[in-house]
Structures are given as structure tokens and as C-alpha cells.
Amino acid sequence: MLGNFSYSNPTKLYFGEESLSFLNEELPKYGDKVLLVYGGGSIKQTGLYDEIMQILAKNGKQVFEDAGVMPNPTVEKLTEGCQIAKDNDVDFILAVGGGSVCDYAKAVSASAFCEEDPWEKYFIRKEAVDNPIIPLGCVLTMVGTGSEMNGGSVITNTTTTQKIGRVFGEDVFPKFSILNPVLTYTVPKQQMVAGFFDIMSHILEQYFSNEDDNTSDYIMEGLLKSLIHSSKIALKNPTDYEARSNIMWTATWALNTLVAKGKSTDWMVHMIGQSIGAYTDATHGMTLSAISLPYYRL
């Protein structure tokens, strides 16, 4: 293992088919005003929205909604979400969706009470967060990004054609994340496959760095083997619980900072992929799949 490092991950995970019930344990820890963040409305079609609203009502929460988070969240959307959070002085953010929703919620968490332009301050200049941060939790419905257990957030500026990731500190990590593999069953096949490539790229971009004999490397080899095995099963049977649960767990550990320890890491595939995404609005995992093989051959 190279270098000196510390390791801490403050996010508490609840995993399994009954994991949503643990919202009843977490919600009382925070204030009464909750900002519910979600995407295009699929959670309403599946009934998840109603289930979560019932839990929020049971816990006496006043709910403000920030819907319509797109696959590549934009600066304009971030401005809108920050305004909703600030105008209503929300105490807590609950993100329900995939990685883009979780990424976006973290950006709102860090930016809502920023007195400057958060895009310039936090994504361009990468300055430390020096304003109040709104705590957040995640209910994950799609796997791939690992955003449920890290401080990462990616925002797109369509005006400047920039797609930039910012890794915030532990104070912006989700306080908790709900991981129920069953919630991923309804994800369209293309999105599911894109998630597989995202997980794979996270592993490889940390694996292909340094030449020392590293414990983190052996962990990553196991994660990659599990991903390959379970992905093949999930493609044939999207409702295979064992396969989907293994993929969900692998995605989380692929990018929760653990396997990066003792590694220099790379991330050039992600940088190129994000640049392509800024111009084309292409699905993130698909840009990674296009870049990975030629990049690693080179």
C-alpha cells in the first residue's frame, strides 16, 4: 500500500427488500421541512412516490417537491432547486432516483445557501464549502454511479458545454441511503447496461494505477468478477434478485472511496466521457463504454 491515508465513510446503508421501512428511523432525526427530489416521474408510475409520501406524512413532514431532474443535471436546474430549498428553508433533502438525482441533490445540499454563483465557486474553482449545508438521504432506484455513498456530484453547463464533477467532503455525503434491489427491476435495459459500464469504469480507473502489490487491487478484482457474473444473469432475467442485489452492492463499493486507498487512480476515461456528454447529452455509462477499450489499448 502506498502513501499515508485515513478512511472514513459517514453514510449509513440500509439494504434489502424491506429497507424502505428504515426511513421511519432516520426521518425523525431531522427537521420538519423536507425537499423531495426526483426525476421524470417513474417513481409515480411504480407506486414508490405514494409509498414515500405516506412515510413522510406519518413522520409529520412538510414536503416541498423538486421534480424533473434530468439524466445530466444542468446549472439551470441546480439554480431552480437551490431556490426552492432556500425559499422554503428546508431542513432535509430526500433524493429518490438514480445517480443523477443523488448527484443533483448533493449539489443543492451544498449550494442552496451559497452567496456566490455555486457553479463558479464549487465546480470551476473547486473551493471549500463555507456555507450551511442541508443534510440529505437517498432512496436508490438505479445503480451505477455509487453516488449513494460518496460526495461526488456532476453538473452540466449547456451554455459553456462543460460537464464537471466535484467531489465534496464528508459533510455532503448522504447521511443514509436506502438500497432495495427490487426498485431497480423496472429500469429500461439500455439504462441498466449503461449502469454496468459505469460500475466497470469506476473499478478499472482505480485499478489501473501504480504497480505495487495492493490489497485494494484484490478487492477490485473480486468486485469486477461479481459484476461480470451477475450482469450476464440480469440481462437474461432482470428480476433475478440475487443478481440485482449483487450488482447494487458492487456499485456502491466500487466508488465509496474504499478501493482508492493506496492508489493514485486515473479517471481520464471519465473526463473524456464527461466532455462528450457535455456536447451530446449522451448517457454517461454509454460514453464510458465507447472510450474505455481504445483508451486502455493506448
Q: Outline which parts of the chain fall under CATH 3.40.50.1970.
A: 12-183
Q: CATH 1.20.1090.10: which residues of the chain? A: 187-291
Report the half-sphere exposure of 279 (CA within 13 A, side-chain side).
6
Task: State the cell numbers at 96.
Answer: 429518490
The residues pairing with 139 across neighbouring beta strands, listed in sequence order, are 96, 178
Separation between Cα atoms, residue 127 and residue 14, nearest integer Å: 32
Mean residue pLDDT of the chain comes to 96
pLDDT classification of 212: cutoffs 50, 70, 90: confident
162 touches 272 (CB < 8 A): no
Q: Which pLDDT score is estimated for 3?
A: 80
Tell me the CA end-to-end span of the chain in Å, nearest whole number: 26
Q: Report, at the CATH architecture level, how domain 12-183 is classified.
A: 3-Layer(aba) Sandwich (3.40)
Task: DSSP letter for 129, please.
Answer: P
Model confidence at 31: pLDDT above 90: yes
Is 0.85 surpassed by the pTM of this model? yes
Angle at 169 between CA 168 and CA 175, to 5 degrees: 100
Question: Helix, strand, or coil here: 24?
Answer: helix
Q: What is the pLDDT of residue 225?
A: 98
* pLDDT reported for residue 283: 92
- 165-206 pLDDT, tens digit per residue, is 999 999 999 999 999 999 999 999 999 999 999 999 999 999
Please report the pLDDT score of residue 4 as a whole number.
87
pLDDT at 214 over 80: yes
Q: Is it true that domain 187-291 has CATH number 3.30.1360.40? A: no
Q: Is the pLDDT assigned to residue 130 strictly greater than 80?
A: yes
Total residues found in the chain within this entry: 298
- Predicted local confidence at residue 213, as pLDDT: 76
